[in-house]
A and B are shown apart, each in its own frame.
Chain A
Amino acid sequence: MAIQPFAGGEGGFYARDRAWHPPVASPAYKSTTLRAPRHALLSLGQTRSELTGPAFGHDILNPLDNDLIRNFSQDGSDAIGQRLVVYGQIMDENARPVPNTLVEFWQANAGGRYRHKREGYIAALDPNFGGCGRAITDADGYYHFRTIKPGAYPWPNGGNDWRPAHIHFSVFGHAFAQRLITQMYFEGDPMIWQDPIALSIPDRTAVEQLIARLDRHNTTPMDTLAYRFDIVLRGRRSTFFENRVEGN
């Protein structure tokens, strides 16, 4: 049996700053109450199982995966709503671009309604809007997609809680230790600051990291507004030995 050598802990990822992320339990977000582990997470260090991760190529993409305005069109017409391009750069904590990584996104329609069997909001479905897409970052770590602005929606948590407009993001990175799911919010939306999910993040500066900025330079006249949303994945420590872990 061939065994790959393992060079040790050097060149692993910086420890996750758990005070920057939301805690596992946030009482104002009630679903966390029974789903948050009570034991402290066990610090593992990182082994080959965490320093490697799946890779996906362009062959998995369908031609309209990055066009939510058209990728569920039933009758050839566009999805209803404010037309947007959402783009950004994926970097690591060392400010190095993360190229060739899969980004998946999903969202409600312009009325705030999801195409999901458990959705309970009375807002209308848009027959031409599915609500998901994906892209692979380019050599400089950039992704982009076309969509409509999602609506805010009510949800059963407190008596009258509303989610701010948001897009869900899933990012792989190049190691399973970098795996991340997060949400993108929109600049200037006052509803961010009443949202138990956004506010599960303790630090206001950290919440602001999830707010996409309106980008007037990349709007398309008479067509789409542009929002820029950069994402930062964990970065690797540098090593101080000549025989570096491969890929560092």
Chain B
Amino acid sequence: MLNKLPPLKESPSQTAGPYVHIGLTPSLERITEANVPDLGAGPVPGFGPRIIVAGRVFDGSAAPVSDAVVELWQADADGNHGNAFGRVACDGTGAYRFDTVKPGRVGGPDGKLMAPHLTLWIVARGINIGLHTRVYFEDEAEANETDFVLNRIMDVRRRKTLIAVRSDADGKTVYTFDIRLQGGDETVFFDI
């Protein structure tokens, strides 16, 4: 049995543009009356050990992308997708930072558990359609080995672009995950 074509076409995407902050992070533009507080600001709600996920976004010339907005969606430590949503604007150095929880494992389409991961979505001036990627964790090597998505990346060298590097300082666990829109270490982006 075949799927029929749907009757409507999806509305085409357009860039979020350079002024995306007015709509998505208005406090940064001193708009304190509407759309407040900023959606997805502050610690991401969810059950599990608190972690920091942080990094920088770079363009094809290795220049920081200082006007991007990054959104986060993930499962909690039990593998449940509750409402763990975050949104941050990059700063002048292209840096973003989420205070969130370490996710657990979620069932994948191959019937096995996927490795713990976060979903990120990146929009900015010059990005015509939001870019989807995933953050995996360096200290989950065993789970990463069998992960359905990581194993679909045929060029094994590119898998490491999705692995966040762990460091521990001041009692906090920080996972560093840089995003390269283009270039030699271009991050793997997904057509989901």
Contacts and interface: CB of A to CB of B under 8 A. Distances in A.
Interface of A: 1-6, 8-9, 14-18, 20-26, 29, 31-39, 41-50, 52-56, 60, 62, 64-65, 68, 71-72, 91-95, 102, 104-106, 108, 114-119, 130-134, 168, 170, 176-177, 179-183, 197-198, 200-201, 206-207, 209-210, 231-235, 237-238, 240
Interface in B123-145: 123-132, 134
A35 B182 contact: yes
Contacts of A39: 158, 186, 188-189
Given A24-B128, A93-B9, A118-B18, A2 B78 contact: yes
B168 interface: no
Nearest to B40: A54
B14 A210 contact: yes
B13 A9 contact: no
A31 B128 CA distance: 10
B71 A2 contact: no
B87 to A, nearest CB: 10
B65 interface: yes
A65 B186 CA distance: 38
Contacts of B102: none
Contacts of A197: 14-15, 17
Contact of B191 (A43, A47, A72, A134): A43
Nearest to B187: A37
B60 interface: yes
- Name the 5 nearest CB pairs between A and B, nearest first: A106-B23, A31-B126, A6-B107, A54-B85, A93-B6
Contacts of A33: 60, 126
B29 A38 contact: no
B190 A62 contact: no
Chain B: interface size category = 35 or more
B35 A3 contact: no
B167 interface: no
A187 to B, nearest CB: 16
6 contacts: A22-B128, A39-B188, A47-B148, A49-B134, A52-B73, A206-B12
Nearest to A71: B34
Contacts of A105: 23
A94 B8 contact: yes
Nearest to A90: B11
Interface in B75-120: 75, 77-81, 83-85, 104-109, 111, 113-114, 117, 119
B126 A41 contact: no
Interface in B1-26: 1, 3, 6-24, 26
Contact of B189 (A41, A71, A119, A234): A41
Contact of B23 (A60, A117, A170): A170
Contact of A45 (B40, B109, B132): B109
A232 B14 contact: no
B12 A49 contact: no
